[in-house]
Amino acid sequence: MISSQALHLGMFMLPWSLLILLSGLVGVWFIGKYFKQRYQWDDSAWQCYKDSLWTAIWVGLLAARVVFVLINADLYLAHPVDILKIQDKGFNLYAGIIAGSGWFIWKNHLLKVPVLVSSFLLFITIQFVGINLLNHWNAQQHYPDLAFNDLKLQPQSLTQFMGKPTVVNLWASWCPPCHREMPVLYQAQQDYPDVQFVMLNQGETPEAIVSYLHRYQLNFNNVLFDPYGEMPQHMNMYGLPSTLFFNAQGQLVERHLGELSQAMLKQYLQKITHPSNQ
């Protein structure tokens, strides 16, 4: 099954971002294979090329994470354990590409310039095209024409939130990562008064929702419930928690599957509140 977040193969989920990265690496591998035959590399040169290709992944990922953490140092220093939570997807793309490419070029500096230039350009092209296709896919999606009851059992249409940047969080009280990110979202609601936060519960009764929110003193402005999972089906978001980020025009800008950290949420909010920074 194909969703906007990943390719689903049975119980396995392959995020598109990972598939784009792997596609770039496979492309570079084939470029190397071509030049190996053309220039008749010896076994040691080819082995170095292959090894540096895979080690460049780890160098790039490490650099991407470190730079992202440094950019958001104030948030991570307040909760140092979040630095290790790489599942928040907090990576700086440009830092990762620069570091990984630099490592690869340095390890293969004895090869001919056309080899390195071709490898680099192919990788960058695949990343650029893949990322832009994903962004275009998201840009075609807007608020779905759906309505959900609030805690007073009054129907509320999602389209009513158009006009201001909006975050729609899909959650359930029995979901541990949902519970962990609740304080992050609640604090953001207070820090970003110009952003609407819609907490769309999945499959629970109003009584269970009220009890949970009261127990943890979470006073969200907009709490709705989706008893039949219509929203994740419509938006192809499978798994909890899931978060959708819409700009003021009702256009989907970003989506996040999994627990949100403060730093990652801040980055998403900047995209929907300051479109020129995207």
HEC sequence for the chain: CECCCEEEECCEEEEHHHHHHHHHHHHHHHHHHHHHHHHCCCHHHHHHHHHHHHHHHHHHHHHHHHHHHHHCHHHHHHCHHHHHCHHHCCCCHHHHHHHHHHHHHHHCCCCCHHHHHHHHHHHHHHHHHHHHHHHHHHHCCECCCCEEEECCCCEEEHHHHCCCCEEEEEECCCCHHHHHHHHHHHHHHHHCCCCEEEEEEECCCHHHHHHHHHHCCCCCCEEEEECCCHHHHHHCCCCCCEEEEECCCCEEEEEEECCCCHHHHHHHHHHHHCHHHC
Specify the pLDDT at position 75. Answer: 86
Q: What is the mean pLDDT of the chain?
A: 88
Residues of the chain with CATH 3.40.30.10: 147-273
Q: Return the CATH number of the domain spanning residue range 147-273.
A: 3.40.30.10
For the segment 122-161, what is each residue's pLDDT rounded down to a tens digit? 999 998 898 888 777 666 678 888 999 999 999 999 999 9
- Residues 2-9 have a mean pLDDT of 60
pLDDT level of residue 175 (50, 70, 90 thresholds) = very high
Predicted model pTM: 0.78
For the segment 24-48, what is each residue's pLDDT rounded down to a tens digit? 999 999 999 999 999 999 999 999 9
